[in-house]
């Protein structure tokens, strides 16, 4: 039972470098999310995808891009990393069905990626 899988688990980047964080879920969820976690700030939404082929900005999208490659995969790209992007990044997915009550509306999380930009 893999759930949500994120890679890599750890990464150190130099300022200006680029990288892509990968996320895949095997629960057939429509919706996927990228959050960043910083001390005292909780989880802040970077981008989300309601369904395959759609993406939207969240609370803190600047400096990031995303791709919903297919229903399973949702990647996060840092084009030119900055020290302010040092954080722990979490991918999550959830079930969404308009017009229906859902028995499992919770978000399922990956184990996170610890990113340090120096």
* 67/58 Cα distance (integer angstroms): 14
- For other proteins, give the closer residue by CB, 17 or 37: 37
The distance of closest approach from Cβ of residue 16 to other proteins in the complex, given in angstroms and rounded to an integer, is 28
Residues that bind other proteins (CB under 8 A): 31, 33, 35, 40-43, 45, 48, 50, 58, 90, 92, 94, 96, 101-103, 105-112
C-alpha count within 13 angstroms, C-beta hemisphere, residue 50: 5
- For other proteins, give the closer residue by CB, 13 or 92: 92
* 108/65 Cα distance (integer angstroms): 22
- For other proteins, give the closer residue by CB, 33 or 74: 33
> Could you tell me which of 2, 1, 11, 28 has the C-alpha nearest to residue 89?
11
């Amino acid at each position: 039972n893999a759930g949500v899988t994120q890679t890599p688990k750890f990464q150190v980047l130099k300022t200006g470098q680029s990288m892509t964080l990968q996320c895949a879920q095997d629960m057939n969820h429509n919706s996927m999310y990228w959050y960043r976690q910083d001390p005292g700030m909780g989880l802040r939404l970077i981008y989300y995808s309601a369904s395959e082929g759609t993406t939207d900005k969240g609370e803190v999208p600047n400096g990031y891009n995303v791709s919903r490659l297919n229903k399973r995969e949702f990647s996060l790209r840092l084009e030119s990393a900055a020290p302010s992007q040092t954080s722990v990044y979490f991918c999550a997915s959830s079930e969404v069905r308009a017009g229906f009550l859902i028995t499992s509306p919770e978000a399922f999380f990956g184990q996170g990626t610890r990113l340090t930009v120096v």
